[in-house]
Amino acid sequence: MDAGLQVLRSIVASGFLLSPEITEWREPREDDSLGKPLNVIQKRCCFTELAPSELAEHSEHFGRFSIEFDVRTFRQLGGIPVFYLPRATDDDVGLESLAAALLSRIGEIQVLLNRLAELAKLVATAEDKTQPLVIRKNEQHYYTRCSLGRAEDVIGILTHDAQEVDILRNALRALSAFFYPAEDFRYTGLLAYYRQREWRFIANLNKHGHDIDRDLSDQEKANLMALDGDFFGRSMEFFTGTYHRVDQCRLFSELEGKPLLQYARRIIVPADAVAATTELLGDSNHVPVVSLEELECI
């Protein structure tokens, strides 16, 4: 019960945590070997679509504290269901690896957009557009036959009537956060993740030019480390370097000036935690608190 109240206290104070996870996908090659790993970095907060009658069994695996949202409200908050894709198995029967191949192509498109974004930034900030375009790769410099000005013209033609390259890249990165394996045979049985019916909030979104989520303060990071130092202190490899998980988390705190928790339909907790939860929410938060045991009797 103490752990559930600590997590809820964090949500009341700061909002919903968008924590990073890295999923690995590998595409089988023609020689039956596996291609290089494609790591998809996802910063997300996960929820499960459940009927009230399913909550008791779900709570046995995921904890006895729950926050319930109306489906319509959850969609308005930006919640989107996960797209489950089957991973390729070792024997790669038939077209089983199709999903991994498609996701690999999405990863390669993201690499291309990253390069195009870097090129667009380079030519836009260059003072002398007549200088040759020089590409740096693997600590080597490659001189092209194109000037910076002509490269800028090509980028302008390619992106005409389209969003800026950064926006396209970020949209593809956001889309990748909704792909998840249907199962992981190292830990689960067939379709184990798929049957969880997961929905997500994801990080690094904005509306009309305004960020939806935010960085954590130093105190919020310290609170997470105190809650679970092993999990949040774990080192993870990102595209930009190695970081502790806590340093790459984001917070989804409010929408249109209203704390996110106040959009909830109700909070469901063990009967012996109802009083403490009600006190924790305080007078300004009018989300109903009900006991899990009471719900089980309905």
Domain that holds residue 218: 1-82+189-298
Structure confidence at residue 294 (pLDDT): 81
* Final residue belonging to a domain, choices 156, 177, 198: 177
1 and 76 share one domain: yes
119 and 251 share one domain: no
| pLDDT lower than 50: segments of the chain | none
296 and 194 share one domain: yes
Structure confidence at residue 66 (pLDDT): 95
73 and 162 share one domain: no
98 and 163 share one domain: yes
* Inside any domain, residue 127: yes
Structure confidence at residue 185 (pLDDT): 81
199 and 249 share one domain: yes
* Final residue belonging to a domain, choices 128, 145, 177: 177
* Inside any domain, residue 284: yes
193 and 70 share one domain: yes
268 and 143 share one domain: no
Strand segments (E) across the chain: 16-25, 38-48, 66-68, 80-81, 83-85, 132-137, 140-147, 179-181, 198-202, 206-207, 210-211, 235-238, 241-244, 250-252, 254-255, 258-259, 266-269, 289-291
78 and 36 share one domain: yes
- Number of domains, the chain: 2
Structure confidence at residue 178 (pLDDT): 94
For residue 181, count CB atoms less than 10 angstroms from its CB and return exposed for 0-12, middle for 13-18, buried for 19 or more.
buried
Structure confidence at residue 239 (pLDDT): 79
For residue 270, count CB atoms less than 10 angstroms from its CB and return exposed for 0-12, middle for 13-18, buried for 19 or more.
middle
* Inside any domain, residue 183: no
